[in-house]
Amino acid sequence: MRLDIYHTLFVGISQVFLGGYVMMLIDFRRPVPLWRKRWIFMTVLVVCANLIGLLFFDFWDTYCRVGIWTVTLPYILITIFCSRKRDFRAVFSIATGLFIGCVGTVISSLAEPFLGYNEYYSLAVRTISFLLMFFVLWRFRSAYREMLVQLDRGWGILCIIPVVMFLIMMYLINEFFPVDYTAAMMLSIGLMAVCGSAYYLMYLFFEHIQKETEANKERDILKLQLSALRSRTEAVKTAENFIRVERHDLRHRMQAVRELVERGDRAAALDFLDDAQKRLDENKVFHWCRPPVLDAMFTSYFSQARRQGIRVEAKISLPDTLPMEEAELAVVLANILENAIRANVELPVLERKLRCKVVGVPSLMIEIINPCAGQTLFDEEGLPMAKEQGHGLGVQSVSSFCRKYNAVCRFEQIDDCFRVQLVL
């Protein structure tokens, strides 16, 4: 029995690298380690079946015709099954992996004439090109993963580029190269240049979106800081005015008390002093915590809640030094409180309630509970799903905050109560 080692190596090496590319790009279902293992197992099974056919059963000629059905199609189906978002995102990731593979193939085809058409030299060049492409992909991997999360639309259109590109390349490699090498090579290089440029433009577009998202976040933080500063300034102005008036009145009051005491009218003097004490107490500003931006944020949202007829129960215990930017935490809390107030407003006034607990020891922990109408839907990660376009930004901000600071968060609905917990 003749062992077709060359073609087995050829397909084996190609599939290993293609598998690596796709694995780098795919956003696996949760839990990620489990689904990644499942994907590896299933794809290895499919590829090994083909390799056994190639090695022992002279499968190469058939493989050239039906490889798209025996390897590529099962690959695509398995990958879509194991992806978290089973939409055009998964198709784009697979198609990109295949496109990268095509680039590697074309590079090695370019080198063939210079290597004397030696099969194994060609295979070595192919392997090196795949390795190069691997490093290129590694470089852009994290930006790509971020976009999978942030960009919600347009993936279908983006898919057209690599899918059409891949189909044309398959036709060129299988049908056109054997007929007219030079023309096929020029066409391939031209196509790859166009596709490569398209990918680079996509990368710039992704970068732009990310910068915009970061800028929006910064803007939210600055807005909050500004609003907190304004509130503080107002409060200070009010306090200053009050002190000015009180200082002026104090002289008169002390004179009045002196006269009452000299007259022996003790009861009237004590009443007068009680009134003065009450005036002082009425004008005190209540502080929720010492960090000023957070204090202003709590004051603002709790006042807003009370104006909407929501009963607020709050226990806030925050240390002076926080493990993150005060404004960043304030934005996250503001988002959660805003969602809680919005949910309350849909209910009759008597049912409206908001419980907010924040503790700083032994670590920062937050719990916000509010009643809600209807049933909340949760996705695979346990995050509430947005009902309308534009909503869900609060949940996204909590989620990215937790990723950044290694915190755990939990959203749950128990009967008619919605609870958010966050633990750093």
The sign of the dihedral angle between the CA atoms of 105, 108, 110, 115 is negative
Among positions 69, 117, 135, 286, the unique one binding other proteins when judged by CB under 8 A? 286
Among positions 1, 179, 267, 408, the unique one binding other proteins when judged by CB under 8 A? 408
The Cα 48–Cα 313 span in angstroms is 62
Could you tell me if 365 and 359 are in contact, meaning their C-beta atoms sit under 8 angstroms apart?
yes
- Give the contacts of 5 (CB within 8 A, at least 6 positions apart): 55
Across the strands, what pairs with 420? 368, 411
Number of residues that bind other proteins (CB under 8 A): 26
Q: State in angstroms the smallest separation of the CB of 333 from other proteins.
A: 15
Among positions 230, 244, 278, 290, the unique one binding other proteins when judged by CB under 8 A? 290
The Cα 81–Cα 284 span in angstroms is 61
Q: Is 421 in the site for other proteins (CB under 8 A)?
A: yes
Q: Is 382 in the site for other proteins (CB under 8 A)?
A: no
Q: Is 315 in the site for other proteins (CB under 8 A)?
A: yes
Among positions 164, 222, 363, 377, the unique one binding other proteins when judged by CB under 8 A? 363
Q: Is 410 in the site for other proteins (CB under 8 A)?
A: yes
Which residue, 38 or 342, is less far from other proteins as judged by CB?
Answer: 38
Task: Identify the DSSP state of 378.
Answer: B
Contact stretch for other proteins (CB under 8 A) within 60-68, 152-160, 325-333, 360-368: 360-368
Consecutive H or E run containing 419: strand 417-423
Angle value at C-alpha 387, between 410 and 342, nearest 5 degrees: 75
Q: Is 423 in the site for other proteins (CB under 8 A)?
A: yes
The Cα 15–Cα 8 span in angstroms is 10
Contact stretch for other proteins (CB under 8 A) within 66-74, 152-160, 171-179, 280-288: 280-288
Q: Considering only residues 328-357, where is the footprint of other proteins by CB under 8 A?
A: 357
Could you tell me if 129 and 108 are in contact, meaning their C-beta atoms sit under 8 angstroms apart?
yes
Residue ranges of E strands in 236-352: 311-317
Q: Is 237 in the site for other proteins (CB under 8 A)?
A: no
Of 200, 208, 89, 79, residue with least CA distance to 140: 200
Q: Is 284 in the site for other proteins (CB under 8 A)?
A: yes
Q: Is 383 in the site for other proteins (CB under 8 A)?
A: no
- Chain residues binding other proteins by CB under 8 A are 284, 286-290, 295, 315-319, 357, 359-363, 365, 367, 406, 408, 410, 421-423
